[in-house]
Amino acid sequence: MEKPKKKIAAPRKPGRTRRRRTVYTPEEIHEIFRRFSVQRPEPKGELEHVNAFTLLVAVVLSAQATDAGVNKATRDLFKVADTPEKMLALGEEQVGEYIRTIGLWRNKAKNVIALSEALIRDHGSQVPDNREALVTLPGVGRKTANVVLNMSFGQPTMAVDTHILRIGNRIGLAPGKTPEQIEDTLVKIIPAEFMRHAHHWLILHGRYVCKARKPDCVACVIADICKSAEKTNEIPAPLVELAPQA
């Protein structure tokens, strides 16, 4: 009888190593988010808005701009235009006047008007609650769609901004080169019970503690768990509920 042939493993393609998803165990990840949840039980985004439409507009305006800068401009804009109809009636030039202090304002004013038109024409003036429809709107990309789905519709999405991109890599929670890679990892590793607020917790942690230029490890509640090479402290800060950011 012929001897069964030995299976020869296919050679690994050069340069194709498996990306490690995270350097933390599921228990450590659970503990990180448990602590964030104690610090900020009901985290809020910092972009001011009064409804799903104004949130969508604010997020579109916030590309390459600070939340504080966007809020300054939209406070007056949203007083006169908090629906697609009112925004359209205002017109591109007038919208431009309100948002002149925000970077790329000309293009953004154009998008806000086109966005309002599309909502009226295709969605009965409502902001759609699904990603496929949202990303077809002018000026709306995956990140903007994720923010709106999370904040207005309570969906467990992960909008990866500059803070989350930095934290994901710096502490090895979700290493990746692109926002999509990091988003993909985070939605897989974060326990479901924490997904609703995880996006805000990470942004606020990045903005106020694990800051870009120098992480404030003494003020960090996960200092004992963190595996970052940049870490300067091992003792976690006291775990207490923080006052909401002004």
Q: Choosing from 67, 82, 129, 161, which is the catalytic residue?
A: 161
Considering the rule CB under 6 A, would residue 222 count as an interface residue with ligand SF4? yes
Considering the rule CB under 6 A, would residue 113 count as an interface residue with ligand SF4? no
Considering the rule CB under 6 A, would residue 226 count as an interface residue with ligand SF4? yes
CA distance 212 to 209: 9
156, 196 contact by CB (below 8 A): yes
Residues numbered 167 to 186 that lie near ligand SF4 (CB under 6 A) are 170-171
217 marked among binding-site residues = yes
55, 47 contact by CB (below 8 A): yes
Residues numbered 200 to 219 that lie near ligand SF4 (CB under 6 A) are 209-210, 215-217
Considering the rule CB under 6 A, would residue 87 count as an interface residue with ligand SF4? no
Burial class (CB in 10 A: 0-12, 13-18, 19+), 145: buried
46 marked among binding-site residues = no
- DSSP for 212-230, written as a single string: SSS--GGG-TTTTT---TT
29, 227 contact by CB (below 8 A): no
The amino acid that residue 46 corresponds to is: E
Considering the rule CB under 6 A, would residue 196 count as an interface residue with ligand SF4? no
Nearest-approach distance from CB 222 to ligand SF4, in angstroms: 5
CA distance 123 to 209: 40
226 marked among binding-site residues = yes
Considering the rule CB under 6 A, would residue 231 count as an interface residue with ligand SF4? yes
Determine whether 6 is an active site residue.
no
User: CB-wise, 34 or 72, nearer to ligand SF4?
Assistant: 34
Strand ranges for the chain from DSSP E = none
Q: How many amino acids of this chain bind ligand SF4 (CB under 6 A)?
A: 14
Considering the rule CB under 6 A, would residue 72 count as an interface residue with ligand SF4? no
Nearest-approach distance from CB 41 to ligand SF4, in angstroms: 20
The pair of three-digit structure tokens given for residue 155, joined into one six-digit string: 């969906």
User: CB-wise, 149 or 220, nearer to ligand SF4?
Assistant: 220
CA distance 237 to 119: 46
Of the residues 39, 150, 157, 228, which one makes contact with ligand SF4 according to CB under 6 A: 228
169, 175 contact by CB (below 8 A): yes
Determine whether 143 is an active site residue.
yes
Of the residues 76, 122, 230, 241, which one makes contact with ligand SF4 according to CB under 6 A: 230
Burial class (CB in 10 A: 0-12, 13-18, 19+), 55: buried
Catalytic residues: 143, 161
Instruction: Point out which residues bind ligand SF4 (CB under 6 A).
Output: 170-171, 209-210, 215-217, 220, 222-223, 226, 228, 230-231
